[in-house]
Amino acid sequence: MTWWSMLLGRVLMTDREILVDKRRDNYGTLRVTENREGYRFLYFGEQTEQSCVFITDPAWLEYDYTRAMLLGTFWCGREADMTLLGLGGGALANCLVRHFAPHTVSAVELRGEVLAMAREWLGLSDDPQLQVSIGCAEKHVAAAPASCDLLFVDLYMEGGLSRLQLQAEFFRHCQQALRPGGVLVINQWQMGDTGLPYAAPLLRDLFGDDYLQVQVEEGNIILFIPAAGDPPLTLDRSVMTDWAAALEPALGYALKPYINDLCRARDNPGPL
């Protein structure tokens, strides 16, 4: 999440939320709250809104940035092995399992209490295709070369962006974890109001300027990067729009707006 959306969420929801559960682990406080509309929120600490789940449909994606991350499935297709670094409330994992016919979805979560709260309060899927392990994302990708077709990086702590999202070696290992034809999907904060990801210089050094990116209203920028040695990802808006239209009845929302804003890193249009 971004600071803007977190603050907005607090302004809109404070008077209507009730506390469902509160726990503490080695990394700080975790809270689950619920509002009158049937949404539950996972907070890191007292202010950092990390996840939102619609409890009657835990596969629903409320945030723009998670919806935009779904574009990564376009290039991988069905029967993909998908890995998520960072589970959060589990909505993205639930959505992938329900709507995108994966072979497997594996999530790596640092905090055991996050997994416990996702299972108890946030409707985490019990589908056998979804497997969650507790551990360090950095160690996982370093030990798992060529292990998946689609890798989602969504790593944030109470204070903001995880340190791993600023480390070149970590991103090298993420790309190496992909099989040929695979796609790396990274959720980054925007750097000021530039329309650039926070780690833009590092990412350009590693991946050049042909990777694809899309900026969303919340301020996040989602990056789509091919496996090492693969050609740049195709950007055929017509084909992607048809693909998205076929998904829309099941998802309940449109992916076309993110397709329209998708661009090469070198063609970054600046802030929205």
Per-residue DSSP letters for 89-123? TSHHHHHHHHHS--SEEEEEES-HHHHHHHHHHS-
Residue 143 shares a structural domain with residue 93 = yes
Residue 50 shares a structural domain with residue 80 = no
Asked if the model's pLDDT at residue 195 lies above 80, the reply is: yes
Residue 48 shares a structural domain with residue 72 = no
Asked if the model's pLDDT at residue 10 lies above 70, the reply is: no
Asked whether residue 272 is assigned to any structural domain, the reply reads no
Helix (H) or strand (E) holding 11: helix 3-13
pTM of the model: 0.91
* Mean residue pLDDT across the chain: 92
Domain extent, residue 33, equals 3-54
Asked whether residue 93 is assigned to any structural domain, the reply reads yes
192 pLDDT tier (thresholds 50, 70, 90): confident
Residue 47 shares a structural domain with residue 97 = no
Residue 236 shares a structural domain with residue 163 = yes
Any idea what the CATH number is for the domain that residue 160 is in?
Answer: 3.40.50.150
Asked if the model's pLDDT at residue 2 lies above 80, the reply is: no
β-pairing, 39-44 with 156-157? unpaired
Asked if the model's pLDDT at residue 8 lies above 90, the reply is: no
Asked whether residue 26 is assigned to any structural domain, the reply reads yes
Asked whether residue 59 is assigned to any structural domain, the reply reads no
pLDDT value at residue 214: 96
185 pLDDT tier (thresholds 50, 70, 90): very high
Please give the structure tokens belonging to residue 236: 């055929």
Residue 33 shares a structural domain with residue 78 = no
